[in-house]
Structure 1
Amino acid sequence: MGKLDYVKILDQVDSFVWGPPLLLLLVGTGIWLTLRLKLIQLTRLPMALKLIFRAKNDGTGDISSIGALCTALAATVGTGNIVGVATAVGTGGPGAIFWMWMAAFFGMATKYAEGLLAVKYRTIDKNGQVSGGPMYYIERGLGRKYRPLAIMFAASGVLVAFFGIGTFPQVNAIVDTCKLSLGIPVYITAAVVTVLVALVTIGGLKSISRVATKIVPFMAVFYVLSCIYILVTFADKLPDAVNLIITSAFSGTAAAGGFLGASIMLAIRSGVARGVFSNESGLGSAPIAAAAAKTKWPAEQGLISMTGTFIDTIIICTMTGLSLVVTGVWTGEAKGAAMTNDAFLAAIPGFGPVILTVGLVLFAFTTILGWNYYGERCCEYLFGVKSIKAYRVIFIGLVATGAFLKLEAIWLLADIVNGLMALPNLIALLGLTGVIISETNRYMDHVKAQQTKNHSEPA
């Protein structure tokens, strides 16, 4: 009975934190920035995608622009893309996928603003490392009197790293999928993951960035190609699946098979909350990595950061969601990773679960690495560079224990601390909109001047 009460209490807190006010603030901030930036996520997306490969990396920073993007993607492309999408569809029905798209579309403008402000207000710590993120743009942008908000953000960031996205859901997903599809005992997987995390994270940001830049592009392409194979296999079901996603977003989903039905509000809440959990737009986590990029232009890194949400949700989450709907597994009894596992099994008998296991393990492992860095920067802001060693030891200890906790409680805990992190960040984005606009205009004028200069130079 005690366990049930514990989950029930967490569920009530989660419903309060992720109630209409925070969802409205998250999506509302995205809509506000979209309008003020004149649909930047549409008009400048081709330019942003080119910048991933063409950014000059000529400013002060610790890592390249693509290294910063890969570190941010390492943290965002994780179990949210596989388990989280399945949880959203299992709770809110296929309509949740549509609301995930909406949250991601407006979230791209939010992510742009976060990346821009991170570079604009970054600083150097006593170890000579770049430090940046919402705690710095709150304090240095809004002013010292807003420092309590910066402390709230940094404290929530450490909690998310320790008890939210950073450890438990990822480790849980890794051990579950290894046991489910490969039959590896939980304690063996937990031990291997802990040792690997320790080896990489002790080397700090450059070590994490190196690993992320190698693993992230490979794992994203590998997973997307696997999902495309599923969609080709069930190509006849694809038009109906897309139709179901769009219609049930506005009419709710009737009960089907093991699925109990869902209202429109449940579809919206599941889609937006899981979308944010996956792409982290508005949470303020990605700008911590963006701040370390070698760039002179805040807006340039903002554009590169914006592509993170596009890759994470518009591409990868969509692939998972469509795979769950075309195979029909969303109406079954399976939940979370087991549901996605069933989709892969339906399309690729024998090899499907192994492919999913490889994808999930890589996704979750890199998320642990990315969040280790985020939490470390938040800890450094609160307690100074001397706290970094203790932080790393605690983080590694939590990774080791994360495998032995109840799934439902883990997702609820992760959701709650995410919400507490988003609030101060969103207040800062709204308060610093003027700075975001002026920096954007300054960069676009520079780009125009460069283009004019290149056209006028003789060939």
Structure 2
Amino acid sequence: MDKLMRLNTALNHLVWGKYMIFLLLFCGFWLFIRTGFLPLRHGILIMKKTIGSLFHKDEKKGITPFQAVSTALAGTLGVGSVIGVTTAITLGGPGAILWMCVSAFFGMMSKYGEVVLAIHYRNHSDEGYLGGPMTTLENGMHSKVLGVIFALLCIFASFGIGNVTPANTIAATIQTYIHVPPLIIGMILALGIGMILIGKSKGIMKFNEIIVPFVSVLYLGACIYLIILHADQLGHVFEIVLKDAFDLSSVSGGIGGFLTSRAIHYGISRGVFSNEAGMGSSPISHASVDDANAVEQGFWGIFEVFFDTMVVCVLTALVVLSSGLLSDGMDGAALTIACFEQGFGKAGGIIFAFSIIAFAIPSILGWYYYASECIRYLFTSKWVIHIYNGIFLILLVQGCCMQLSNVWEIADTLNGCMAIPNLISLLFLTETVVKLTKEYLKEIRSD
């Protein structure tokens, strides 16, 4: 295990070094410039085509845009947006939150580009649409090799970010209130997930469409109450965030030192872990939407990053930083539970426990869906998915029983590896994104 962690640390420093951080920021910045500052100039149109569209009756019988974005959000909310925030703060300092927001601002455009390309270059068969960075790399860049590499990395990543990590979070949260052996929790979790998987992709998406909006409203409402409760601390919170975000005294000067600062490293890496902008995972669910318009579905990608980081992550950070509990030595779920109990009493911990479990289960399902689509891309034989299902459910049980002090670092490494082929496609196919965007906006103006 020690050798594995040393290898992971070396690889993590490589994939999350200053060049990777620069590449992530540059891809989003470049698309932001090349599309004419799309989120700023057309913010009203984006809201109209995303949230505004929910108020119109949808006659689609297949997978809908909202089901797709619910599944994409399911893969990010909860473990990434709640637990990931507290680890970013404890490891990277309060300033990491500012860099999460910076990465998210440009990440909105990375996600937009990913989704547009996933729709434009997706495949269609009797089983429905199949798309994501793997088809973008194959059909857009004519590189089957890079498509296969991305698909394999996504499958392996699903065992970490989409399986062991949320399973362990669920077990740890339940054990805070009920003394149940983790093995029992894991077996019940695996049984429940297995039953949902019987419904396959549409069953997963319908489940996520119901649970994600409900739990989001409950969690955000509780966060807003706790922030109001400590409103007198907000001035101090913003002060320490800004001060820590630009504290580069511990690193060498210049651009190299700036990009390797502790706050920036954990802010951007945890930000990507949370909203998945640049990773290429969530476009896989967007690509499954029937009769989707590439640009309009891309707008959902922008909304997804905004909601995940600018809303959920920021509110979680404000709850933690205004509570005064950061110096008590807690981390992860324990720290956030303590914040909720401080404001709501014992009931607060229960509210948080319910929210994190309700977020984590859709997260598991979302990542299962990503991996299953990658398996469908790589293999024609049905037995492969059955083998994957067995491994996936066994790891769910095992994840509940493991001590996961190093899992976040392994998950970060896998995320970084996934991002590399995806970012290559974004850079090389920028002109395609720009062309489709201009055509869409021209068509909208002529209507």
Tell me the TM-score normalised to structure 1 length.
0.91
What corresponds to 2:72 in structure 1? 72
Q: Does 2:135 match 1:136? A: yes
Identity %: 35
Per-residue Cα deviation, 1:105-142 (whole angstroms, up to 9, x for no partner): 000000111111111111124x5221000000111011
Correspondence 1:350-429 to 2 at 5 A: 350-386=346-382, 387-429=384-426
Q: Distance in 2 between matches of 1:253 and 1:232?
A: 34
Inter-CA distance 253–355: structure 2 relative to 1 (3 Å threshold):
farther
Give the counterpart of 1:299 among 291, 295, 300.
295
What corresponds to 1:198 in structure 2? 194
Contact 1:58 1:294 in 2 (8 A): no
Once the 2 structures are TM-superposed, how far is the Cα of residue 185 of structure 1 from its aligned partner? 2.9
Q: Distance in 2 between matches of 1:226 and 1:22?
A: 36
Q: Does 2:329 match 1:333? A: yes
Q: Distance in 1 between matches of 2:44 and 2:349?
A: 35
Give the counterpart of 2:284 among 288, 297, 300.
288
Inter-CA distance 253–223: structure 2 relative to 1 (3 Å threshold):
farther
Structure 2, unaligned runs of 5 or more: 251-258
Once the 2 structures are TM-superposed, how far is the Cα of residue 48 of structure 1 from its aligned partner? 2.1
Aligned residues: 437
- Look up the SS of the partner of 1:413 in the other structure: helix
| Code of the aligned partner of 2:420 | L
Once the 2 structures are TM-superposed, how far is the Cα of residue 296 of structure 1 from its aligned partner? 4.2
Q: Does 2:40 match 1:35? A: no
Once the 2 structures are TM-superposed, how far is the Cα of residue 83 of structure 1 from its aligned partner? 1.1
Once the 2 structures are TM-superposed, how far is the Cα of residue 220 of structure 1 from its aligned partner? 0.9
- Look up the SS of the partner of 2:83 in the other structure: helix
| Code of the aligned partner of 1:282 | G
| Code of the aligned partner of 2:79 | T
Correspondence 1:180-199 to 2 at 5 A: 180-199=176-195
Q: Distance in 1 between matches of 2:102 and 2:35?
A: 17
| Code of the aligned partner of 2:111 | K
Q: Distance in 2 between matches of 1:77 and 1:268?
A: 21
Q: Does 2:145 match 1:148? A: yes
Q: Distance in 1 between matches of 2:185 and 2:100?
A: 31
What corresponds to 2:16 in structure 1? 18
- Look up the SS of the partner of 1:230 in the other structure: helix
Per-residue Cα deviation, 1:385-410 (whole angstroms, up to 9, x for no partner): 52323222222222222112221221
| Code of the aligned partner of 1:329 | L
Contact 1:284 1:425 in 2 (8 A): yes
RMSD of aligned C-alpha atoms? 2.1
What corresponds to 2:42 in structure 1? 44
| Code of the aligned partner of 1:83 | I
Once the 2 structures are TM-superposed, how far is the Cα of residue 47 of structure 1 from its aligned partner? 2.2
Once the 2 structures are TM-superposed, how far is the Cα of residue 7 of structure 1 from its aligned partner? 3.4
What corresponds to 1:83 in structure 2? 83
Q: Does 2:317 match 1:317? A: no
Per-residue Cα deviation, 1:54-96 (whole angstroms, up to 9, x for no partner): 2789999940111111111111113011111100000111100
Contact 1:97 1:245 in 2 (8 A): yes
Q: Distance in 1 between matches of 2:83 and 2:10?
A: 22
What corresponds to 2:226 in structure 1? 230
Q: Distance in 1 between matches of 2:53 and 2:427?
A: 30
Moved more, 95-104 or 201-210: 201-210
Q: Does 2:206 match 1:210? A: yes
Once the 2 structures are TM-superposed, how far is the Cα of residue 341 of structure 1 from its aligned partner? 1.5
| Code of the aligned partner of 1:446 | E
What corresponds to 1:167 in structure 2? 163
Inter-CA distance 253–94: structure 2 relative to 1 (3 Å threshold):
farther
Contact 2:122 2:132 in 1 (8 A): yes
- Look up the SS of the partner of 2:29 in the other structure: helix
Correspondence 1:95-114 to 2 at 5 A: 95-114=95-114
Once the 2 structures are TM-superposed, how far is the Cα of residue 357 of structure 1 from its aligned partner? 0.5
What corresponds to 2:174 in structure 1? 178
Inter-CA distance 285–59: structure 2 relative to 1 (3 Å threshold):
farther
Once the 2 structures are TM-superposed, how far is the Cα of residue 43 of structure 1 from its aligned partner? 2.5
Per-residue Cα deviation, 1:3-44 (whole angstroms, up to 9, x for no partner): 555434433332222111211111111111111112212233
Q: Distance in 2 between matches of 1:338 and 1:441?
A: 48
Correspondence 1:336-351 to 2 at 5 A: 336-351=332-347
- Look up the SS of the partner of 2:290 in the other structure: coil
- Look up the SS of the partner of 1:283 in the other structure: coil
Contact 1:251 1:264 in 2 (8 A): no
- Look up the SS of the partner of 2:116 in the other structure: helix
- Look up the SS of the partner of 1:408 in the other structure: coil
| Code of the aligned partner of 1:140 | N
| Code of the aligned partner of 1:48 | I
| Code of the aligned partner of 1:35 | I
What corresponds to 1:119 in structure 2? 119
Once the 2 structures are TM-superposed, how far is the Cα of residue 196 of structure 1 from its aligned partner? 1.3
Q: Distance in 2 between matches of 1:425 and 1:280?
A: 11
Moved more, 170-179 or 10-19: 10-19
What corresponds to 2:253 in structure 1? none
Moved more, 206-215 or 146-155: 146-155
